[in-house]
């Protein structure tokens, strides 16, 4: 099976390709030179929908999109859908992490409880979109740890392993992550519906 992936983020593309190893995943950038998708939705679902719809419209092929965010208990759910632009419209990973650590400074452990959520949208036919969700719970550390992963990984502690996501290898992260969990549900759907062949 071939799938178009509506993402220009190479970190995500790498993880998704590794998780869906037996599926041919083609980034949208290999079909169109430049594309800009405005993530104007108010929910992860809406954003995943906007992205998958765009990929399908441009290629006409079965398409997949991933919208992800970090939801922090003590910040009333922020950064949430604003995860990529928490410290400003063009903020990089490091600036976003710094802003988050700053916002949590002095707060108790309970405020540092957080989860990653990943919503995957799949569109195979016009107007037919299915969503798959994966979540993973953890805590925001006081300082970054580890140099693997990307985004908020260095400050996201995964309690069952006692390490941040950035301290895990790609393989290890891809066995437990929000993205792995959402994509496992997607895979189950493909198997059940016979689309994986």
Catalytic residue numbers read 67
Q: Which residue do the tokens 């452990």 mark? A: 109
Q: Is 29 in the site for ligand IMP (CB under 6 A)?
A: no
- Closest separation between CB of residue 197 and ligand IMP, Å? 29
Q: Which residues contact 87 (CB under 8 A, 6 or more apart)?
A: 95, 96, 98, 99
Tell me the window of 24-32, 63-71, 128-136, 189-197 that interacts with ligand IMP (CB under 6 A). Answer: 63-71
Binding-residue pattern over the window 142 to 171 for ligand IMP, x denoting contact by CB under 6 A: -------xxxxx-----------x------
The closest of 144, 147, 171 to 156, measured between CA atoms, is: 144
Q: Which of 25, 67, 132, 190 binds ligand IMP (CB under 6 A)?
A: 67
Task: Tell me the C-alpha distance between 56 and 53, whole Å.
Answer: 5
The smaller minimum CB distance to ligand IMP, of residues 26 and 37, is found at 37
Binding residue per annotation — 158?
A: no
* Shortest spacing between CB 180 and ligand IMP, in angstroms: 10
3-state secondary structure 15-83: HHHHHCCCCEEEEHHHCCCCCCCCCCCCCHHHHHHHHHHHHHHHHCCCEEEEEEEEEEHHHCCCEHHHH
Binders of ligand IMP among residues 73 to 102 (CB under 6 A) are: 83-84, 93, 96
SS3 content of the chain, % helix, strand, coil (to 5): 40, 25, 30
Q: Which residue is nearest to ligand IMP (CB)?
A: 151
**Tokens 């922090």 identify what position?**
72
The residue ranges that bind ligand IMP (CB under 6 A) are 9, 39, 67-69, 83-84, 93, 96, 149-153, 165, 177, 179
């Amino acid at each position: 099976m071939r799938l178009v992936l509506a993402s220009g983020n190479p970190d995500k593309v790498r993880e998704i390709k590794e998780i869906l190893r037996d599926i041919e995943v083609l980034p949208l950038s290999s079909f169109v030179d430049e594309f800009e998708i405005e993530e104007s939705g108010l929910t992860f679902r809406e954003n995943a929908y906007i992205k998958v719809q765009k990929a399908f419209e441009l290629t006409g092929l079965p398409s997949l999109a991933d919208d992800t965010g970090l939801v922090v208990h003590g910040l009333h759910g922020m950064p949430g859908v604003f995860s990529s632009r928490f410290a400003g419209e063009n903020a990089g990973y490091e600036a976003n992490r710094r802003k988050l650590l700053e916002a949590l400074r002095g707060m108790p452990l309970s405020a540092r409880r957080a989860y990653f959520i990943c919503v995957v949208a799949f569109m195979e036919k016009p107007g037919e979109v299915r969503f798959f969700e994966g979540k993973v719970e953890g805590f925001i550390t006081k300082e970054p740890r580890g140099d693997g992963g990307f985004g908020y990984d260095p400050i996201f502690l995964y309690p069952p392993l006692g390490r941040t996501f950035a301290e895990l290898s790609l393989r290890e992260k891809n066995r437990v992550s929000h993205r792995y969990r959402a994509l496992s549900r997607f895979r189950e759907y493909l198997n059940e519906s016979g689309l994986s062949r």
